[in-house]
Every structure is written in C-alpha cells, then in structure tokens.
Structure 1
Amino acid sequence: MKFTVNVECSPEEARRFMGLPDVTPINEALVAEMGKRMEKNLALMSGESMMSSWMSVGTQAQDAFVKLMTSGASMAAGATAPREKP
C-alpha cells in the first residue's frame, strides 16, 4: 500500500513540529558580524592602499630576485673558473 500526505506549513511551523532549535538569533548575530568585517576589509581595499601594498610586495620580490640571480651568477662563475693544480 502506498499513500501520500501533503502538509502545508511555514518553515517555522515545520521546525517547531520536528523539535529543532530556533537559531535565528545566532544567525542574525553572525550575519551582523560578517557585515562589520566586510565593511572593515572594504575600507582597506581602497585603490591607494591596494597599490601601495602591491608596490611594496613587488619591490620585495624584485630585491629577492636580484639577490638570487647575483648569487647564482657568482656561484656559476666560480664553478667555471679554472682550478689551480696542487
């Protein structure tokens, strides 16, 4: 035997019927906190601050690259120099 039951109720009524806790206050607090954090981060993402951040990273990366290349070149030059016989 097979039968179907359709029940019309709101999500709130279904939650109560099934005995689930009401997490609305927790959800509202989390959404408010996320909104505050997003606003704070958006303020940090102004064009001027983003460019200064990118430029400082670019300069550091460029300095590291130059050091790596010069040390590698000096090591390679030392390895190819003729060795003296003992």
Structure 2
Amino acid sequence: MKVNVEIDCTPLEARQFFGLPDVQPMQTAVMDRLQQQMMVNIEKVSPEALMQSWFTFDPKLAERFQNMFVTMTGLGSTLSSDKKK
C-alpha cells in the first residue's frame, strides 16, 4: 500500500504545526551582527588602511618597496649602469 499526502503550507505554518520555535528574530539579529563585523573587517583591508599599516611598521619600507618594484620591472639594471657611468 502506498499513500501520498500533499500539504500546501508556508514554512512558518509548518513550523507552527510541528511546534518548532520561530527563529526569525534570532536570524535577523545574527545577520545584523555579521554584517556589522564584515563592514569593520572590510575597512581594515581597504587599500588606504593596508598602506598605512605597512608603512608605519618601518620608515624605510617605502624605499624598499620602491627598490623592489624597480628591480621587478627590470629598470634596476639600467639605473645601476647609469650610476656607474
């Protein structure tokens, strides 16, 4: 014997029928908190914040970054040969 029962109801009606708690207020609170935390973390990784944190660590770090980029682009060899002349 096979019996099929179809019930047409909303999720809220199903939760109420089975006696499950309404978790909507808790979900809203958790999502609001998560959104606030994400916004704080996004501000921490903004380009301005990253550059400020990197360059306040070591005063000569800006010069080292410049030298690294010059070397990576291949301009370092031409600059060093110009200094020798």
Common topology (TM > 0.5): yes
Cα offset for 1:36?
Answer: 0.5
How many residues are paired up? 58
Structure 1 counterpart of 2:35:
35
Distance 1:36 1:48 in 2: 20
Q: Percent identity?
A: 40
Cα offset for 1:49?
Answer: 2.1
**Does 1:45 find its partner at 2:45?**
yes
Distance 1:18 1:33 in 2: 29
Structure 1 runs (4+) deviating above 6 angstroms are: none
SS in 1 for 2:25: helix
Structure 1 counterpart of 2:3:
3
Which runs of 5 or more structure 1 residues have no equivalent in the other structure?
60-86
The within-5 A match list for 1:5-84 is 5-53=5-53
Larger Rg: 1
Cα RMSD of the aligned pairs, angstroms, is 2.0
Distance 1:4 1:53 in 2: 64
TM-score normalised over the length of structure 2: 0.58
Cα offset for 1:50?
Answer: 2.1
Worse-superposed segment, 40-49 or 19-28:
40-49
Distance 2:55 2:20 in 1: 52
Q: Is the 8 A contact 2:15 2:21 kept in 1?
A: yes
